[in-house]
Amino acid sequence: MFMLASALASASESAPAINAQRYDADYPALNYSGPATHNAFARLQARLDRGELTLDYSPSRGYLDALLKALKIDPSSQVLVYSKTSLQIDLIEASTPRAVYYNDEVYIGYVQNAPLLELAAMDSELGLVFYTLVNKPSAPRQFDREAGRCLTCHDTYSMMGGGVPRVVVLSAMVDGAYNPPTRETSEETSDQTPLRERWGGWYVTGQHGEQVHLGNLPIDGDPKLSARTDAQRLNLQSLDGLFNTRPYLTNKSDIVSLMVLEHQTGVQNLITRANLKVHTVLARLEQGAVPAPRTLADLSPRGQAAIKAMVEPLVRTMLFVDAVEFTSPIAGNAGYEAWFQGQGPRDRQGRTLRELDLKTRLFRYPLSYFIYSASFDSLPEYIRQYLYGRFLEILQGRDSSGLYAGLNADDRKATLEILLATKPDFVRLTGMTLP
């Protein structure tokens, strides 16, 4: 599940984040524990401080509705999770699941009657950063930075140093309402995970045919869930009848939103890893010969080889090489599909990389929409240059590795045309133009 663990104590935006010294030691040029100023919450805080924006408080959900509106996050993105993976676990039950809302750069966690909203955002310089907002009418509208206890779960590439902050989506086997999952009873999921292994501890609505998953599974001690058969827990139109859904923005936990969330977080984590680690590796390999490399040509052969080793997993993920194919069509029913597809840039034929397929795969075209994100654009130019070169090579059918042989020739051609028409940075760094 999405683990957006928030601490009850936090530091102000102007103060250093708590207990982030590990990153300061691993990545001294990063200054992760310093102020985070290149993300949606920092920009929103600046607008609040200047009086350009106010956040209205609602007696039902506090600042949640106003925050979603300010950040342009649609309620249809809502996914609900009932396993206990937040520092506010005492308030999370099968009858009061945590709601997660998100867009390309921001994640918001809401727990009923909780004192805090749990927040995370992609910062173009620091990677994933964490905040809380006190969800009480008397509290100041202040996004408080928190990077201590959150990293206990959100740094999982390496807990002993060399890790990076990540968004984590887990499928957790929940044995009882008061028995939180552990690392031994949960598995991280992505678009490469078979559906039958996904969404333990999550509510799931929408159609998926004969395909099965671990969502809506019974919990010991909860008669409404325990009494449901597989036929009753799969292909749900809504969650009404399982618990009181009125406190939430919708009665859905949309399957398509869950699948996009899994793909997006996988790409984001690889981008963060590349952004943070490449600087450190190159500093060691280049030994100061290239103090500020800009292009691939500025790097030594060893430096270029290091870039390849660290970035190739991102190439594969963004081209959906290992993504699971569907055996039955997928369909959400929360309106998420229309909202998600309506955001992306389109070429003159109306095509977009955000177009969903949902028949045999998640996306229509074999290149991730995350190429348009601020996170991707924040990568150093030499990394983007490498990525663009690989995308071009693969989409033109010139890759000889055999790893991308399964990409349909018509899909590759259409994807390249969309990319050339909608991503000026790709055109600039590859020198390609539309015919």
Are 73 and 141 members of one domain?
yes
288 against 337, higher pLDDT? 337
Quick one: 180 and 275 in the same domain? Answer: no
User: Based on the domain organization, do 280 and 229 belong to the same domain?
Assistant: no
Q: Is there a single domain that holds both residue 178 and residue 36?
A: yes
Residue 12 lies in a domain: no
CA proximity to 119, closest of 111, 131, 128, 129: 131
pLDDT at 146: 80
Can you name the residues that pair with 102 across neighbouring β-strands? 107
Collect all residues with Cβ–Cβ distance below 8 Å to 100 and sequence separation of at least 6. Answer: 2, 4, 78, 79, 80, 81, 107, 108, 109, 110, 261
117 vs 222, which has greater pLDDT? 117
Does one domain contain both 188 and 285?
Answer: no
Q: Mention every residue, 6+ apart, whose C-beta is less than 8 A from residue 52.
A: none
CB 396 within 8 A of CB 414: no
Based on the fold, state whether residues 316 and 191 are members of the same structural domain: no
Taking only the tens place, the pLDDT of each residue in 297-330 is 888 888 888 888 889 999 999 999 999 999 999 9
Beta bridge partners of 188: 170
Task: State the Cα–Cα distance between residues 348 and 374, nearest whole angstrom.
Answer: 23
* DSSP secondary structure code for residue 96 in this structure: S
Residue that terminates a domain, selected from 216, 233, 250:
233
**Is residue 296 domain-shared with residue 178, that is, in the same domain?**
no
Phi, psi of 344 (to 5 degrees): -80, 155
Residue 167 sits in the same domain as residue 307 = no
Q: Shortest CA distance to 182 belongs to which of 50, 248, 110, 85?
A: 85
Structural domain count of the chain: 2
Residue 132 forms part of a structural domain: yes
Q: Are residues 355 and 396 in the same domain?
A: yes
Contacts of 15 (CB under 8 A, 6+ apart): 145
pLDDT of residue 415: 98
* Domain contains 177: yes
- Residues 181 and 186: their CA atoms lie apart, in Å, by 6
DSSP-assigned beta bridge partners for residue 170: 188
Rounded to an integer, what is the distance from CA 370 to the centroid of its chain? 10
What is the pLDDT at residue 24?
75
Same domain, 189 and 290: no
Look at residue 246 and tell me if it is in a domain: no
Structure confidence at residue 304 (pLDDT):
83
Asked if residue 191 belongs to a domain, the reply is yes
**Which segment of 8-22, 170-184, 237-251, 308-322 scores lowest on mean pLDDT?**
8-22
Residue 5 lies in a domain: no
Write the single-letter amino acid at 354. Answer: R
The answer for residues whose C-beta is within 8 angstroms of residue 167's C-beta and 6 or more apart is: 2, 107, 120, 128, 154, 265, 268, 269
pLDDT at residue 387 is higher than 50: yes
- Mean pLDDT confidence for 54-64: 94
Residue 20 · residue 148 · CB < 8 Å: yes
Higher pLDDT, 283 or 125: 125
Burial of 361: CB neighbours in 10 Å, binned 0-12, 13-18, 19+: middle
pLDDT score, position 32 = 80
* Residue 227 within a domain: yes
Residue 347 belongs to some domain of the structure: yes
More confidently predicted of 146 and 13: 146
Identify the weakest region by mean pLDDT among 134-143, 241-250, 294-303, 368-377. 294-303
Spatial distance between the Cα atoms of 397 and 399, rounded to a whole number of angstroms: 6
Q: What is the pLDDT of residues 24-43, one digit of tens each?
A: 777 777 788 888 999 999 99
Q: Are both 271 and 218 inside the same structural domain?
A: no
pLDDT above 90: residue 55: yes
Tell me the residue range of the domain where 357 lies. 265-430
Six-digit token string for 430: 């590859």
Whether 228 and 295 map to the same domain: the answer is no
Full-model pTM: 0.90
